[in-house]
């Protein structure tokens, strides 16, 4: 488990002096309107965007560390499963490129497929999966490398309401079970309420408010009433 | 299901009917005209049988042409693939080599023949080089285009999972570029045969192209038509072979295991 800290994160086109702390094992929901910088902030944590300021894991700066060495599990918006690999190979990819042995890979992948109830899909390609199945595979792939931090970018965005609700509950259950520090992006208030230990609200590249879900949602309700 | 069962023979009929009508019209017109310059289909078929079975004189020429096309195709495609990967994946190579490729690409493969006749001479290397040039540029272009069309999200996902740049290229980018690369290969499989015939007609003493020129000098129209039919069959076979590998290595596009 890892304590994530962002200090004065700024980049040229989106983020403006963002400061944020995510304690060990917490699921922080990052909310905000489209274009507020949520995805860019996840990319900064993952090392995929250039930035000024500092990202620290357990107090150690990881700036300049390549994305693959930050040990992050990232579920991208649209999941980005590799379309030319079957489910098994998708999940095994991170372990293979890190040089894990085939026995270790098989054991880990089988365990994850059991956990996410996707064992029956092992030989299927992403094009033949439903939206919910794809997200499960993508999450299994992100977790296969035993990441220290998990980043989820609107993981239920493209799903129907029922699948989305069920998957959220499962995500939450898995996250609690693994105790992994997680940053979860959404712009949906009900999703944020269902998932969050804490919510951070972004607007125009800045964190404008952080707090417990009930406080943040009450604040939203009050400001809406006032408007 | 019943619709499918009925539609298969129907679609076969739709495919074959125009060819059948063409052959019958050809036969009727040629018999009616009775000119040696326009032999009927039956005479061409007899000549086809003679050249391939009873005399077998077409086989050595076909073998030589096949060897040249295969050598030129494999070497040209491999070189085009390597250059395409370099230009598609490396920004410096794209900036430095891209303009050079743009200069040479518009020159048709056959346009190189006069220059190559002087530089290389009239020997086996010439037709192979023509096929090489014919295949090199389209495969290069399709490889570059395939690599550039790979979703940057896939590359980011691989990077986050810990893949090195070489691993990203070999395990993600190249496999995802295969549909585009195969399109180039399939097109060039046919073009290579068209180019070799032209090169053989001009530059070397053996091959299907030479056989066609000999038949032309003796006004053996049926033999010319046999060579054309063989050429067409070889183009078709090459394209089908590439199509087979394309389907095998890009079946993930349809989500089939």
**Mean pLDDT in residue range B192-197:** 91
Contact A175, A26 (CB under 8 A): no
Token pair, residue B111, equals 């346009």
Residue B146 has pLDDT above 90, yes or no: yes
Residue B1 has pLDDT above 50, yes or no: no
pLDDT digits (tens, 9 = 90+) for B50-67: 998 999 889 999 999 999
Contact B255 A67 (CB under 8 A): no
What pLDDT, on a 0 to 100 scale, did the predictor assign at position B34? Answer: 85
> Following DSSP, what letter does each residue of B119-164 receive, concatenated?
HT-SSTHHHHHHHHHHHHHHHHHHHHHHHHTS-HHHHHHHHHTT--
The half-sphere exposure of B192 on its side-chain side, counting CA atoms within 13 A, is 35
Which residues, other chains included, contact A95 with Cβ-Cβ below 8 Å and sequence gap of 6+?
A: A104, A105, A108, A109, A144, A145
* Residue A76 lies inside a defined structural domain of this protein: no
What does the buried/exposed string (b/e) look like for A70-103 if buried means 16 or more CB atoms within 10 Å of the residue's CB?
bbbbbbbbebbbbbbbbbbbbbbbbbbbbebeee
Residue B157 has pLDDT above 90, yes or no: yes
Burial of residue A60 (number of CB atoms within 10 Å: 0-12, 13-18, 19+)? exposed
Helix axes B41-49, B221-249, angle to 10 degrees: 70
Q: Among B72, B70, B203, which residue's Cα sits nearest to residue B132?
A: B72
Contacts of B171 in chain A (CB under 8 A): 93, 97
Nearest to B163 among A68, A70, A141 (CB): A68
**Sign of the torsion formed by the C-alpha atoms of B85, A90, B150 and B189:** positive
pLDDT digits (tens, 9 = 90+) for A124-174: 999 999 988 999 999 999 999 999 999 999 988 878 888 888 888 888 888
Please indicate if any CB of chain A lies within 8 Å of the CB of B152: no
Contacts of B149 in chain A (CB under 8 A): none
What pLDDT, on a 0 to 100 scale, did the predictor assign at position B3? Answer: 47
Split at pLDDT 50, 70, 90, the class of B256 is low
Split at pLDDT 50, 70, 90, the class of A2 is low
Residue B93 has pLDDT above 60, yes or no: yes
For chain B, domain boundaries: 45-254
Residue A207 has pLDDT above 80, yes or no: yes
Q: Which residues in A have their CB inside 8 Å of a CB on B?
A: 43, 46, 48, 66-70, 72, 74, 76, 78, 80-86, 93-94, 97-98, 123-129, 141, 145
What pLDDT, on a 0 to 100 scale, did the predictor assign at position A79? Answer: 77
**Are A61 and A103 within one domain?**
no
Task: Give, for A56, the enclosing helix (H) or strand (E).
Answer: strand A52-57
Give residue A95's domain range.
81-146
Residue B237 has pLDDT above 80, yes or no: yes
Split at pLDDT 50, 70, 90, the class of A227 is low
Please indicate if any CB of chain A lies within 8 Å of the CB of B159: yes
**Domain boundary residue among A146, A171, A199?**
A146
Domain count, chain A: 2
Residue A223 has pLDDT above 80, yes or no: no
Contact B42, B222 (CB under 8 A): no
**Are A163 and A205 within one domain?**
yes
> Domain B45-254 carries which CATH code?
1.10.3720.10
Residue in B149, B158, B162, B181 to test binding to A, most A beta-carbons within 10 Å: B162
Contact A68 B171 (CB under 8 A): no
pTM for the model? 0.85
Contact A51, A18 (CB under 8 A): no
Distance CA B71, CA B196 (A): 11
Contacts of B158 in chain A (CB under 8 A): 82, 93, 97
Residue B191 has pLDDT above 80, yes or no: yes
pLDDT digits (tens, 9 = 90+) for B164-173: 999 999 999 9
What pLDDT, on a 0 to 100 scale, did the predictor assign at position B35? Answer: 87
Residue B79 sits at φ, ψ, to 5 deg, of: -65, -40
**Are A17 and A61 within one domain?**
yes
* Residue A52 lies inside a defined structural domain of this protein: yes
Distance from the Cα of B209 to chain A's closest Cα (Å) equals 42
**Are A125 and A217 within one domain?**
no
Distance CA A142, CA A131 (A): 17
Residue B148 has pLDDT above 50, yes or no: yes
Q: What is the ipTM of this complex?
A: 0.90
**Are A158 and A216 within one domain?**
yes
**Are A8 and A62 within one domain?**
yes
Q: Tell me the average pLDDT of chain B.
A: 91
CATH number for position A41: 3.40.50.300
**Domain boundary residue among A116, A131, A146?**
A146
**Are A25 and A116 within one domain?**
no
**Mean pLDDT in residue range A63-71:** 93
Output B113 or A221, whichever has higher pLDDT.
B113
Eight-class DSSP state of B203: H
Contacts of B150 in chain A (CB under 8 A): none
Split at pLDDT 50, 70, 90, the class of A108 is very high
Q: CA of B163: which chain A residue's CA is closest? A: A97
pLDDT digits (tens, 9 = 90+) for A73-103: 999 988 799 999 999 999 999 999 999 999 9
């Amino acid at each position: 488990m890892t304590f994530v800290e962002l200090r004065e994160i700024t980049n040229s086109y989106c983020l403006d002096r963002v400061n944020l702390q995510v304690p060990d094992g917490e699921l922080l929901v990052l909310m905000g309107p489209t274009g507020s910088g949520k995805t860019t902030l996840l990319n900064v944590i993952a090392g995929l965007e250039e930035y000024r300021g500092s990202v620290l894991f357990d107090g150690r700066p990881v700036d300049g560390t390549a994305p693959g060495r930050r040990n992050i599990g990232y579920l991208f918006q649209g999941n980005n499963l590799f379309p030319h690999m079957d489910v098994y190979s998708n999940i095994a990819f991170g372990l293979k490129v890190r040089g894990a042995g085939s026995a270790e890979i098989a054991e880990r992948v089988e365990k994850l497929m059991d956990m996410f109830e996707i064992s029956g899909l092992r030989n299927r390609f992403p094009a033949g999966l439903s939206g919910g199945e794809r997200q499960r595979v993508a999450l299994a792939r992100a977790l296969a490398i035993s990441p220290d931090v998990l980043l989820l970018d609107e993981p239920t965005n493209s799903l129907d309401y029922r699948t989305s609700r069920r998957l959220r509950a499962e995500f939450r259950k898995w996250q609690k079970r693994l105790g992994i520090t997680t940053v979860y992006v959404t712009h949906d208030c009900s999703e944020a309420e269902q998932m969050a230990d804490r919510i951070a609200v972004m607007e125009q590249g800045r964190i404008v408010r952080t707090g417990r879900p009930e406080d943040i949602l009450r604040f939203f309700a009050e400001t809406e009433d006032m408007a | 299901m019943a619709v499918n069962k009925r539609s298969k023979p129907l679609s076969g009929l739709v495919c074959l009917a125009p060819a059948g009508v063409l052959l019958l019209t050809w036969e009727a017109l040629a018999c009616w005209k009775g000119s040696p310059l326009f032999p009927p289909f039956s005479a061409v078929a007899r000549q086809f049988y003679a050249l391939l079975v009873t005399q077998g004189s077409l086989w050595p020429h076909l073998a030589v042409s096949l060897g040249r096309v295969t050598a030129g195709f494999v070497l040209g495609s491999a070189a085009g693939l390597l250059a395409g990967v370099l230009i598609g994946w490396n920004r410096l190579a794209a900036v430095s080599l891209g303009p050079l490729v743009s200069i040479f690409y518009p020159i048709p493969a056959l346009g190189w023949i006069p220059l190559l006749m002087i530089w290389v001479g009239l020997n086996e290397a010439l037709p192979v080089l023509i096929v090489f040039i014919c295949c090199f540029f389209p495969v290069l272009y399709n490889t570059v285009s395939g690599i550039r069309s790979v979703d940057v999200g896939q590359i980011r996902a691989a990077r986050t999972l810990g893949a090195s740049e070489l691993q990203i290229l070999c395990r993600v980018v190249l496999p995802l570029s295969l549909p585009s690369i195969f399109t180039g290969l399939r097109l060039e499989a046919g073009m290579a045969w068209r180019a070799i015939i032209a090169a053989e007609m001009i530059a070397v003493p053996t091959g299907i192209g030479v056989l066609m020129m000999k038949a032309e000098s003796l006004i053996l129209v049926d033999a010319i038509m046999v060579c054309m039919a063989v050429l067409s069959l070889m183009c078709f076979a090459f394209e089908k072979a590439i199509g087979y590998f394309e389907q095998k290595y890009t079946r993930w596009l349809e989500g089939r295991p």
